[in-house]
Amino acid sequence: MTALSATKNRKLYIFDVDGTLVNSYPSLSHAWELIFNKKINDKDLDLLDSSIKRKLYHLAYVELEGEIRPNPIVIDMLRSAKEEGGTVAVVTGRHTDDRLNVTKQTLKRLEVDYDMIFTNSTTAGASDFKAACARTLASKLGAESVDAYDDVEKALHKMADALSGLTTFKSHLVKDGIPTDMLRI
């Protein structure tokens, strides 16, 4: 891991975890079925009490961690960024009590190398947290450009807003493990 210092080629790459580097849906779906004895419904997930959500995420990300699968195309892009000398930051909005260790464990198992990792331990929503990280990192590293990979369009737009006027920004929306170029500032 690298301390916050200028990057070799002054490029910063930001990668989200769930839905981007990995497909955690199988473990989340399995956890849902174990708790509720029925198939997962995204609308039901939004209505859950926070203590039940913590139990669900703990089961999915800790006890069923082995069911989390890599998104090989995105992981290959991360590896290419590292080989080119860019700084790679993993930024996740995961909601588990032990989010940092759990995320590191998953990335280690999948042989994903990165320079730094940030997990959301604030009360901010995941998109706001990622935007704040992007701006802070770009500023402290003196990054001339930032490429961000995320499966949530809102997070990419918030990062674009946060980096406006600071650096060049390119976002890649990841759907079904495949990144697409979304917008460039």
Q: Which of 89, 76, 74 is nearest to 7 (CA)?
A: 89
Q: Which of 9, 53, 49, 10 is nearest to 139 (CA)?
A: 10
pLDDT band at 6 (very low <50, low <70, confident <90, very high): very low
In this prediction, residues 168-181 reach a mean pLDDT of 91
- Cα-Cα-Cα-Cα dihedral sign, residues 124, 126, 129, 135: negative
Q: Beta strands of 52-167 (E only): which ranges?
A: 69-70, 87-92, 116-119, 145-150
- pLDDT tens by residue, 26-51: 888 888 888 888 887 667 766 777 77
With a cut of 60, say whether residue 124 has pLDDT above it.
yes
Q: Average pLDDT of the chain?
A: 86
Measured between alpha carbons, how far is 93 from 20 in angstroms, rounded to an integer?
Answer: 12
pLDDT band at 72 (very low <50, low <70, confident <90, very high): very high
Determine the pLDDT at residue 159: 96
Between 54 and 140, whose confidence is greater? Answer: 140
With a cut of 70, say whether residue 1 has pLDDT above it.
no
Query: Where is average pLDDT lowest: 29-38, 78-87, 137-146, 169-178?
Result: 29-38
Between 57 and 114, whose confidence is greater? Answer: 114
Residues sharing a CB contact under 8 Å with residue 13, sequence separation 6 or more, in sequence order = 78, 81, 86, 87, 88, 89, 146, 147, 148, 149
Determine the pLDDT at residue 96: 54
Measured between alpha carbons, how far is 104 from 183 in angstroms, rounded to an integer?
Answer: 29
In this prediction, residues 84-100 reach a mean pLDDT of 83
Determine the pLDDT at residue 9: 66
Q: Which domains does the chain have, with CATH numbers?
A: 11-23+69-184 (3.40.50.1000), 25-66 (no CATH)
pLDDT band at 8 (very low <50, low <70, confident <90, very high): low
Say what the pTM is: 0.86
With a cut of 70, say whether residue 185 has pLDDT above it.
no
In this prediction, residues 133-158 reach a mean pLDDT of 95
